[in-house]
Amino acid sequence: MIVVSDSWVQSLISAIAAVVAVVQPAAPLPPEGGQPPAQVRKAGDWVGSWATAVTEADKTGLSATGVANATLRQVTHLSVGGSSVRVRLSNRFGTRPLVVGRTTVVPRKTMPAATPNVEILQVLPITFRGKGAVTIPVGAEVMSDPLALPVAEDSDLVVSTYFPTATGPLTQHPAGYATAFSAYGEQTAGGGPQYRKVPGMARFVVSEVDVRGTARGALVLFGDSITDGAATPMDKNLRYPDQLADLLILRGVGALNAGIAGNRLLANAGNSGEAAIGRFERDVVRRTGVQGVVVLEGINDIRLTRGAISATQVIAAHRQLIARAHAAGLKAYGATLTPYWASPQYTVGGEIARQAVNHWIRTSGEYEGVVDFEAAVRDPKQPLRIMPGYDSGDHLHPNAAGFSAMARSFDLNLVG
């Protein structure tokens, strides 16, 4: 039972009032380095259907060691469908040029996600400027040529990539909550038996799948582990962005997950990603056909510093993201920070900061719309905590049912 004293409540109210008093609408912050912000791509009829945000390699494991003369097979779960596809590969955090010998794709509608099995007669190669092989410079990424291949909404596209020489550390997404597979040698057209599971749940190199079709645009879900899908079961696609994607399809809008577990607004965090204000252009603005972004960031800044990061600092960072979105012609939607009472690093000061940030998101009018995730998952009887039926057990991350409640709370009218 949570017991909150009247004095604590009065302190909370006073603190929120103080923050609101000093946090007034401000001029947009200039982009870092004095450079103009990146602009949204001219997408034409191309739209992002699936994406993941990439980070540097881990200290151990496959991302650290890389591979040589091996094929990696990975399953991407699409949101919107289309008549053609193209795939983005990333060497953003590599330490040497990344040599890709061959890449294939194959749609899969009914086979279980947790297997490498595909119909070999449906496997098709993709090219890069007309060639099957490509070398990606350090820090760069490449987009494949368009491939005429019908893919259904809410379906899987299996991507197999052959690396003929030693790769060195691989650009990755650590918490993919999806099984990757590896095989010795060039097995991009293999049916599946030659593959073995890669330990862990990371994704490697593949960072985006676009489709050409009738979708009106894409919405980026930008955040930390709650957006990334922490505590959801492997290979089930039950993160809140996955469940929201099923609803956005009804409006002809793709959903792109740009969450990274452990991500912060204001601090770089190794394999928890660059600071949100640093990665925003790559993970949001430069996605294909993006029309808007939902920002759910700040709880890690608050809790991991035990409240040393103030609400004013978090709000200033949110304003910078809003300014960058608007400069690129995107709509920005603010998501309220969900409860974290009784989780590690919980403090009263942090709770005051969280409440103040949420008050600003709800009342300032600086975002085009509010996505009230806190209201969706909090316990109405004890609102400082996540509802027990939605709690994954760590009092910070919602479970699959909680993610479902978050998805359902999104007002689809925000995207038209």
pLDDT at 15 over 90: no
Q: Where are the domains of the chain?
A: 6-30+216-415, 60-209
Per-residue confidence at 155, pLDDT binned at 50, 70, 90? Answer: very high
pTM of the predicted protein model: 0.92
Q: How high is the pLDDT of residue 112?
A: 83
- Among 105-114, 284-293, 294-303, which is the least confidently predicted range? 105-114
Summarize pLDDT for 92-140 with one digit per residue, the tens: 999 999 999 999 999 998 888 899 999 999 999 999 999 999 999 999 9
Q: How high is the pLDDT of residue 150?
A: 97
Per-residue confidence at 70, pLDDT binned at 50, 70, 90? Answer: very high
pLDDT at 9 over 60: no
Q: Are residues 361 and 323 in contact, defined by beta-carbon separation less than 8 angstroms?
A: no
Q: How high is the pLDDT of residue 28?
A: 42
The greatest distance separating any two alpha carbons of the chain, rounded to the nearest whole angstrom, comes to 70
More confident residue, 143 or 33: 143
CA 65/CA 54 separation, integer angstroms: 17
Summarize pLDDT for 321-335 with one digit per residue, the tens: 999 999 999 999 999
List the structure tokens of 261.
Answer: 């577990």
CATH no. for 6-30+216-415: 3.40.50.1110
Q: How high is the pLDDT of residue 263?
A: 98
More confident residue, 1 or 414: 414
pLDDT at 339 over 50: yes
C-alpha angle with apex 350: 29 to 410, nearest 5 degrees?
65
Per-residue confidence at 18, pLDDT binned at 50, 70, 90? Answer: low
pLDDT at 30 over 90: no
Q: How high is the pLDDT of residue 12?
A: 57
Summarize pLDDT for 387-408 with one digit per residue, the tens: 999 999 999 999 999 999 999 9
pLDDT at 37 over 70: no
Q: How high is the pLDDT of residue 109?
A: 81
